Chains A and B, each alone.
Chain A
Amino acid sequence: MTTTDAETREAEPGEPSKRGRRGRSEHAAAQNRLGLYLIAPSIIVLLIVIGYPVVRAVFMSFQKDAGLDPATGLFTEGGFAGFSNYTHWLFQRCGDISCPPGTLGSQFWSSMSTTIFFTVATVIIEVCLGMWMALVMSRAFKGRGLLRASVLVPWSIPTAVTAKLWFFIFAFDGIANSLLRTEILWTGSQWPARFAVIIADVWKTTPFIALLILAGLQIIPEDVYEAAKVDGATKWQRFTRITLPLVKPALMVAILFRVLDVLRIFDLPYILTGGANNTTTLSILVVNQIRQGFNSAAALSTITFVFIFLVAFVFVRVLGANVVQTTQSQQKGAR
């Protein structure tokens, strides 16, 4: 298959090492070269499919959208816009006036707060619930296969189908109201609608979080617990002093992945509530804007991207979520 070249080429650099130090540095150089050759195609593809669009989006975001200028009432062809697309979103400026309520420009901060609210709420619920699930799974003798199988079901269902499924569950005459004996218009007002989105997301992603945490739990050696037990540590002490600190790297990675994932949430609220009743997230706002003006949408998507990037940066730097190392060390625990 495609690896044939890689295999035969790799067999060579192993040999020259007999020739001492010079051979070793040649060996390192050969590895560097081979590594570069093998990596380059993927990096080039990523530059094309991600790098180029991002650069293009930044360029677009400084261009005026063709259309009627709200200030002069004249048709403009576009041209350099300076930061006006950014001030449009960040300070809600539409030309020289502030954006009238109801326009997309006026929705930026509410979508931002909705997105942050979804992120905080779902991540807290999912991590707590996921931690509990992982603990149950790690202690289960029998039924581990059944657990793993059922945990994979919500994950493998497409989010679009998940959204439709919960849309049906939360219908006015649906099973949710029937079981709870309530008559709530779930998608009809702000808090029930937000709650519906959160429940659907928790259902879909908690099992995934549980799997990530479980992988972290499984690399904790048994004898640490044994030793603590001998020393008379209570169950709670063992959880807070052993499990939590040792599972922390895996937990931080799980939280980082989830946070970055919810910050770009689109499918669930878009299908479940259509973004109505204050469930419009940043991604939905971008999509709504696209057909009203590319360049303004490009500015908004750049803001979204920079925001998500900053959050990731804070996570990795300040909170020390070492994604690369943790995921590498987890591989052993996963089996």
Chain B
Amino acid sequence: MKIPQSYAITLLAILSGGTGWPADPCAEGTEALRRRDLTAAESALRQCTQQASAPVEAHLMLCGVYQLQGDAVGLYRAARAGLKRYPAEKRFYLTAGTHAGREKRFLEATEILEPAHRRWPDDEKVAALLESAHLGEGMAQLDGGDNEAALRHLSRAAELAPGDVEAILNLGRALHNVHRGEEALEAFDRAVSIDPKTPLANFHRGMTRYGLGRLQEAIGDIDAELAANAGYAPALLVRGLARMALGEWQAAEPDLDAAAKAMPADAPAQFALARCLLRLGKREQAEARLRRTIELTPADPSPKNMLVRVLFESGRAAEAKALAAEAAELARRERSAAPGQIKFQSYRRPAP
């Protein structure tokens, strides 16, 4: 006859003598939970689950206790412990993954949920949670400037949920940032085709098209964005830049002026307006904007070089020369490598 393990433990306790020996914590926990004595249930089930022999139900019950207590951290820990012991139990993945996601630990959530998705590829809930985790991690990386990592996660999110416009839109942004403009456009096209009203989809497509030199198309995208999102300053900036690139200086000015006013601390906006004003012959206004740009980005030689031109043209050669020297030094530093920053490979001529 096979003695059940819990009875074996109790028997062992009795045989060991002493009535103060604990009863079976697993059974106690089950009973306490049935009575809704959550404190006792938690205590007993924690003891139970620390045993190597703890059944999967004990881990699940402990999760249930934490859930009833509203203890998210306990729930997460219990689920992780259960997952370690019983990797075939889907509810542990869902519980731990959900918690990690809620805590914005998206990377961890993806690590929890990817194995679940491999085990249950058709489970929609697992897929949805995993997609959400990848999207969250991708967005976080995008905001943090790690575009390659963002691209990995957003690609996965878009793969898991081909209809999720947020994932697709941000995948496009990541592709744009790693200079894969054609693929970025495909992503933006998809986002717009799924939902033509996707916020900022036209803006991002326009920005990418501008970066690819497709200026007329970029202007069309920005027009569409501004129709739905009137006065959106970054869109005005991109449209102004595109118009300048086409040589349409007068048409560019209102956009750039509005963008610069809306984003007074944005160096590209100030600089773009300065370029436009200079070309339109508004030298004094251009000079003011150039000086503002230099305040915002003192290490960038380009606005300084432009201001040098303004100064020369207005007969202030001494100031121009001093500023030119300053800009030249900044540029020299930008293009220089310190010893060891570039590795060289020595070649020794073979002996004759």
A pairs with B: no
